[in-house]
Structure 1
């Protein structure tokens, strides 16, 4: 199979951004980085499409739109792993298999596959480089690297993971055509801010993929192990005053794998480790906001505690506490001076 020559890109953690609009199916096939591929058009009319890409911290994020039915012959290059998904009701096919709603398609590098996409189709994608990410985050032994099937089976977690990954890509790209809305996370950000965000974003990707793995390969852990892991993390926070921002940090503190960590919290605490540590950080932010000597802005506090988008932070905060951070500040005085009512003793 002869492929068109593609662009080359390095795997550093520098921010790389490119958006291209095309009016020919071959031009569209040539535009996507880190791929060898050929497109054939199979519905009538003028072709148009776009490709919006961003490389950050060893993960290549992209959204692709094509307006005609396409047969795509594809192969991802250079020790990479591809994950693709769509939120649309019209579904693609991979190697002549239907891709159900919420499923994530996946192929490692060097393995050719065929993708059939319907007209007016948006597809999201991640290309993850094996060597540029922390091996403890997504290592060589991670099951997705070894996956021989064309897509992950639909499970309880997979539709949620697909939506959360799409939302993250939308935040990064800020595409007006995105089904999840237009929000740009990195526009006009200083290099220092991008450097701070990079490990949070790549950890978010790894955390979501871990949730998918958890649903694919459930096993039991003992009650003692679950309690020990939870205790280790709780004591670490109490003793150091530091709140881990990534699952990798939680694994290092508790000396367990990402998957075991997930099992322990799901089975022992009733929530995911992501939700647990997020709630811990939200509670600490609330304590700071209620402090009479607080000099930090809401946005700075959110970022310092690992919430890299203010709207998402506000939504989590309101869901947990029933009020916005601004309302907490406005009502702080009431919390410092509670009104205590005493019932009048009833005469005998």
Structure 2
């Protein structure tokens, strides 16, 4: 287990579902084991000042009762197997986003071998102009506890949330960059929510001229490389450029054929590679990676190998 003043990250295993439920940060709830047999559960969670993500796996059928955290936007993505869970009296049989209002009481019947990723965002975040899109979420989606989502969006969200957990629970994480990690993780969760709840009629927005899209990509690259202390997130770029998240994404897709995150990561990987090729082996690779915003060396090394088909240590040095 690792923790800082801002972040809490842990992986725990239990043989009792009640103890499991009490270990989930910030939630007032109780689990009751319904099916007979030995319980075996796993809880992985990361929480900061403005967000909380947890991934739970339970082998027994469970009754879950409680009250959602106050002043939070609460969501969950269940992995549905043969038997559907029942949430607030509704069966969840398709890829769906589960929603709860902060402070709302809930009753959930979870089948055997439940696998759920849940996440909350502080409602205070919606008052920040940088996250104005979140202010519309309560009215748009929280009126229904089960919101069907398309399989591609569902798979992308599960993948991205698992990536957030992996980032936080990696052995190299949270080292000397606590404030940066807090912002990066929180912005990642916010982006996942926005991706899930975007309505289908927003799929083809009115886009700026192609020359403007090219300017957006170029300016984003300049802003990211000029950043002194951290790596700007997609939400940072939208705020700096005063454009919507959808405009940023479509501009990068049309001009560069990829996402803003992947494109800017590639730019930084190239910058690291150029720096390594012009410095002697006495300059530590980890220090160079951190200089360009890669604060988790294990993840940096994996990105580097995927991109250049060689490890950073295999790159020729001056």
Please report the TM-score for the alignment, with normalisation by the length of structure 1.
Answer: 0.72
Cα drift, residue 239 of structure 1: 8.3
* Cα distance between partner residues in 2 of 1:156 and 1:51: 25
- Is the CA contact (8 Å cut-off) linking 1:36 and 1:75 kept in structure 2? yes
- Is the CA contact (8 Å cut-off) linking 1:317 and 1:324 kept in structure 2? yes
Question: Structure 1 residues 314, 87: closer, same or farther in 2, change over 3 A?
Answer: farther
Query: Which structure's relative contact order is higher, taking Cα pairs within 8 Å and 6+ residues apart?
Result: 2
- Is the CA contact (8 Å cut-off) linking 1:203 and 1:248 kept in structure 2? yes
- 1:221 matches 2:217: no
Instruction: Show the counterpart of 1:339.
Output: none
Instruction: Show the counterpart of 2:250.
Output: 263
- Is the CA contact (8 Å cut-off) linking 2:29 and 2:67 kept in structure 1? yes
Question: Structure 1 residues 51, 156: closer, same or farther in 2, change over 3 A?
Answer: closer
Instruction: Show the counterpart of 2:178.
Output: 194
RMSD: 3.4
- 1:114 matches 2:99: no
- Is the CA contact (8 Å cut-off) linking 2:51 and 2:121 kept in structure 1? yes
Q: Where does structure 1 lack aligned partners over 5 or more consecutive residues?
A: 1-11, 174-182, 334-348
* Cα distance between partner residues in 2 of 1:295 and 1:205: 38
SS of the aligned residue for 2:298 comes to helix
- 1:97 matches 2:81: no
Within 5 Å, give how 1:160-309 maps onto structure 2: 160-173=156-169, 183-186=170-173, 189-190=174-175, 192-213=176-197, 216=200, 217-224=202-209, 227-235=211-219, 237-238=221-222, 241-242=225-226, 245-292=232-279, 296-309=283-296
Q: Which has the higher helix share?
A: 2
Cα drift, residue 153 of structure 1: 0.6
* Cα distance between partner residues in 2 of 1:134 and 1:303: 32
Question: Structure 1 residues 227, 278: closer, same or farther in 2, change over 3 A?
Answer: farther
* Cα distance between partner residues in 2 of 1:134 and 1:199: 16
Q: Deviations over 1:196-223 (max 9, x none)?
A: 3222222222333344345753132334
SS of the aligned residue for 1:125 comes to strand
Q: Deviations over 1:113-148 (max 9, x none)?
A: 433322243432222112258835544744544413
1:41 to 33, 39, 56: 33
Max Rg structure: 1
Q: Deviations over 1:243-289 (max 9, x none)?
A: 55211221133211223322332345432221222222222222212
* Cα distance between partner residues in 2 of 1:301 and 1:91: 50
| Pairs aligned (count) | 306
SS of the aligned residue for 1:156 comes to helix
- 1:317 matches 2:304: yes
- Is the CA contact (8 Å cut-off) linking 2:149 and 2:196 kept in structure 1? no
SS of the aligned residue for 1:127 comes to strand
* Cα distance between partner residues in 2 of 1:137 and 1:87: 32
Within 5 Å, give how 1:320-339 maps onto structure 2: 320-328=307-315, 330=316, 332=317
Greater shift in the superposed pair: 159-168 or 234-243: 234-243
SS of the aligned residue for 1:151 comes to strand
Q: Where does structure 2 lack aligned partners over 5 or more consecutive residues?
A: none
1:14 to 3, 6, 16: 6
* Cα distance between partner residues in 2 of 1:297 and 1:196: 21
- 1:56 matches 2:41: no
